Structure 1
Amino acid sequence: MKNTNAVLMQWDDPLSVAIPESNQSLFSEELAHFVSEQSTDQSDNSEWAESLPPINPEDKRVVNGGADVNQLAPFKYPWAWEFFLNANKNHWTPLDINMAQDVHDYQHKLTTEERHVYENVLAYLTTSDILAMRNIGLAVMEKMSAPELQIYQARQVYEEALHTWTYQHCIETIGLDQREIYNRYRVVPEIYGKIKLANRRLNAVLTTEMDLRNRDNLEQFAMSYLFFAAVFEGCWFYNGFSPIFALQRRGLMKGTGEQLQYIMRDEVMHCAFGLRVVRQLLKEENLKLDARAVQAMWEESLAAEKAYAGYILRDPILGYSAEDHVAQFQFIANRRAKQLGLSEPFPGAESRLDWLDEQASMRKEKNFFETRVTEYQTGASLSW
């Protein structure tokens, strides 16, 4: 027996109650009438007789490619497709993680200094991930001329939005003043300094009119994307989670720490993909970046990180200080430079947080009574 209570989605308003099933026959009749009219209109139009030659995948390029951007395969960059496949094994949302203990920790266990660290890390990250989402979606993705690159970046845009949701979920769950937290990036100079620097380096390429056949524009784009991949995501994000991980390893704010472990796995992939694209771009376009300009990028990024660390860690917390934070930035910066085949910007820098790599890694063993039992991936293990 037909269920007369069934409904269809309204395309103009998909969240509203939709059209009853009893009216579905009207749509079928209208569709049949439309198809019938079209089939009788077989006017001779040479437009439909045109065709194009098959593409050659070797014509693909990171930018300024000569192939059809709508044709995915054959691949020229199969590694980009692998990034996309691996990213889609990482299904999670912030609702998967139990935050009840964090509420108790924040209210009853954290010191004033630890609350200051926790709040300001979230204040910085909330704005940064929106900035990252806009940069990939508006500045980078539309300039890529190979679809396998664009497809991974589409996933990346989604993940940055997911990360923003995660920070919002933490802020909302803990009960922080959203108006105050979200405005800190504007009113706290040390947080604003990092955002201002990122905007200056990234906003220059936030235009669709940028002609990348112009060598000056191309070099500017390469430097901008290098900053985004190596500094913004590769160092500032990677280093930005460390203060929360320092609390987590002491058994505090474990839910937030686990949220950031999920985000960290995404960001490591974002950084690795970005660095791979930069290397490919420099090779294809025969670009050689100005070593002095690259060093200046590292040094101003370090200056902004020092100011930020001095503010959020003006009073050290147990096991973590501003000096640790800055030293770790220099160590990670050297790692990113080596991945690009560039000179180390801070020779001799050493890791001050020997526990970080282990703490940042996802753990599969979960206490059933503390958190939801969930695997981070639905497929095979993801290599870091």
Structure 2
Amino acid sequence: MHSPTPSNLLDPGFDLTLRPMRYPRFYEMYRAAIKNTWSVEEIDFQIDLGHLRQRMTPADRHLIERLVAFFATGDSIVSNNLVISLYRHINAPEARMYLSRQLFEEALHIQFYLTLLDNYVPDPERRAQAFAAIENIPSIRRKAGFCQRWTDEVYALGSTDTDANKRRFLLNLTCFASCIEGLFFFGAFAYVYFLRSRGLLPGLAAGTNWVFRDESAHMAFAYEVLNTVRREQPHLFDSEWAQQVRTMMEEAVECEAAFAEDVLSEGVVGLTRREMRQYLEYVADQRLVMLGLPARYHSRNPFPFMELQDVQELTNFFERRVSAYQVAVQGEVAFDQTF
């Protein structure tokens, strides 16, 4: 009797065999994610509403409205790509278990941002504008267009049956992990933690803590997929791929820097556009190094509050709920790294 020939991660088709398990690392990530469950109902926005009425300047409010407008669409874009690209073309049942969990987490994030908008933007007309940000806010439309281009690149991809098709998929995965979840979202998190450093909006910060950890785990999974494919088919990661990734990352930095120009256009005290661009360049370099590529910008992190973000928070023993997860997610993105 012939033993089955193990297929690789990007072979076309649907592998349904969990035993023998070829990729146990993905299964471990799935199990860790299950233990890291939270709910939007646990977030209290009452203090935030008081801050919005009494402690925030018009420039602060502009920052918040732009931020929640991006949040309202960002995770929906990621969810669509999960279904259109990742689940469809990663042929490993263990990995698809994790992606199923990730899809749930993206839905949870969407619910969080929906609740955020309903609380923060009570005016129906302005709320409608925020939900339609892709159409009416140029800086967000630019970011959405960047995302959509990479989604469109694989939308009609029937199968990863050739090296060219595999490279198209890998560029999509690299973009969503490194540029969208790894740069656009981390730029957004920086605004939240800047406000937290001023003692503002604790409900937003509490929910963002959980989203931050989810997104870090999503990146860890994506980089694990990329590293696995690199071991199995190293020829796919050639100089052309490297150049395309560098160009992609540079464009993402410009998109997010343009968003920062918009977010900070009314003059937020204590946060400058130059600092935001420096932070974005710093994060972009981290993503490039994680992909095995040289740094592009050599910028330093200008935000001490982001260096501390990954530290597990001390929590009162008697609190009903902690924001620190039970299980540390391990992989290419670890929580002991600075973001």
Q: Same fold (TM over 0.5)?
A: yes
Q: Deviations over 1:278-335 (max 9, x none)?
A: 1222332231241322221111111111111100011342332222221111111111
User: In 2, distance between residues paired with 1:110 and 1:355?
Assistant: 20
TM-score (norm 2): 0.89
Correspondent of 1:305 among 256, 268, 273: 256
Which of 168, 176, 198 in structure 2 is aligned with 1:250? 198
Decide whether aligned partners of structure 1 residues 212 and 115 sit closer, same or farther in structure 2, where only a CA change above 3 A counts: same
Matching of residue 220 in structure 1 with residue 168 in structure 2 = yes
Distance 1:145 1:323 in 2: 43
Contact map agreement 2:194 2:305 (CA 8 A) in 1: no
Deviations 1:199-230, CA, capped at 9 Å, x for gaps: 001222124x5231222221111111111111
Counterpart selection for 2:158 from 170, 194, 210: 210
- Distance in 2 (CA, whole Å) between partners of 1:360 and 1:252 is 19
Counterpart residue identity of residue 301, structure 2: S
Q: Which amino acid aligns with 2:222?
A: G
* Bigger share in helix: 2
Give the 3 Å change call, closer, same or farther, for CA 332–232 of structure 1 in structure 2.
same
Matched, 1:189 2:138: yes
Larger radius of gyration: 1
Secondary structure of the residue that 1:252 maps to in structure 2? coil
Alignment coverage as a number of residue pairs: 325
Counterpart check, 1:374 vs 2:325: no
Aligned pairs for 1:127-206 within 5 A: 127-176=73-122, 177=124, 178-206=127-155
* Alignment-derived partner of residue 325 in structure 1: 276
How many Å separate the matches in 2 of 1:341 and 1:381? 24
8 Å Cα contact 1:144-1:150 kept in structure 2? yes
8 Å Cα contact 1:324/1:352 also seen in 2: yes
Cα–Cα, structure 1 residues 172 and 366, in superposed 2: closer, same or farther, change >3 Å? farther
* Helix, strand or coil at the partner of 1:88: helix
Map of 1:1-384 to 2, 5 A cutoff?
56=4, 59-64=6-11, 69-176=15-122, 177=124, 178-207=127-156, 209-285=157-233, 286-289=235-238, 290=240, 291-346=242-297, 348-359=298-309, 361=311, 363-366=313-316, 373-376=320-323, 379-382=326-329, 384=335
Offset at 1:366?
A: 4.9
Question: Which amino acid in the other structure matches residue 320 of structure 2?
Answer: V
Secondary structure of residue in 2 paired with 1:317: coil
Report how far residue 65 of structure 1 moved.
6.1
Alignment check: 8 A CA contact 1:71 1:147 kept: yes
Q: Secondary structure at the match of 1:241?
A: helix
Secondary structure (helix, strand or coil) at the match of 1:373 reads coil
For residue 160 of structure 1, report the CA deviation from its aligned partner. 0.6
Change (3 A) 1:306 1:55: farther
Structure 1 window deviating more from structure 2 (170-179 vs 180-189): it is 170-179
Structure 1: which amino acid aligns with 2:288?
A: A
Secondary structure, in 3 states, of the residue corresponding to 1:355? Answer: helix
Judging changes above 3 Å, is the alpha-carbon distance between structure 1 residues 55 and 147 closer, same or farther for their aligned structure 2 residues? farther
What is the alpha-carbon distance in structure 2 between the residues aligned to residue 171 and residue 55 of structure 1?
A: 55
How far the C-alpha of 1:138 sits from its partner, in A, is 2.0
Amino acid at match of 1:312: V
Listed as ranges, the gaps of 5+ residues in structure 2 are: none
The one-letter amino acid of 1:172's match is: D
Q: 1:153 is aligned with what amino acid?
A: L
Structure 1, unaligned runs of 5 or more: 1-52
Q: Deviations over 1:37-72 (max 9, x none)?
A: xxxxxxxxxxxxxxxx7974x613211168x72121
| Aligned mates of 1:88, 1:108 — CA distance in 2 | 39
Give, in whole Å, the separation in 2 of the partners of 1:144 and 1:263: 24
The change in CA–CA distance for 1:102 and 1:366 in structure 2 (over 3 A counts) is: farther
1:377, CA displacement in angstroms? 6.3
Measured after TM superposition, the shift of residue 361 of structure 1 is 4.8
**Aligned equivalents of 2:173 and 2:243: distance in 1?**
17
Check conservation: 2:129, 2:136, Cα contact below 8 A: no
Q: State, as a whole percentage, how many aligned pairs show the same letter.
A: 23
- Do the aligned residues in 2 keep the contact of 1:77 with 1:148 (CA within 8 Å)? yes
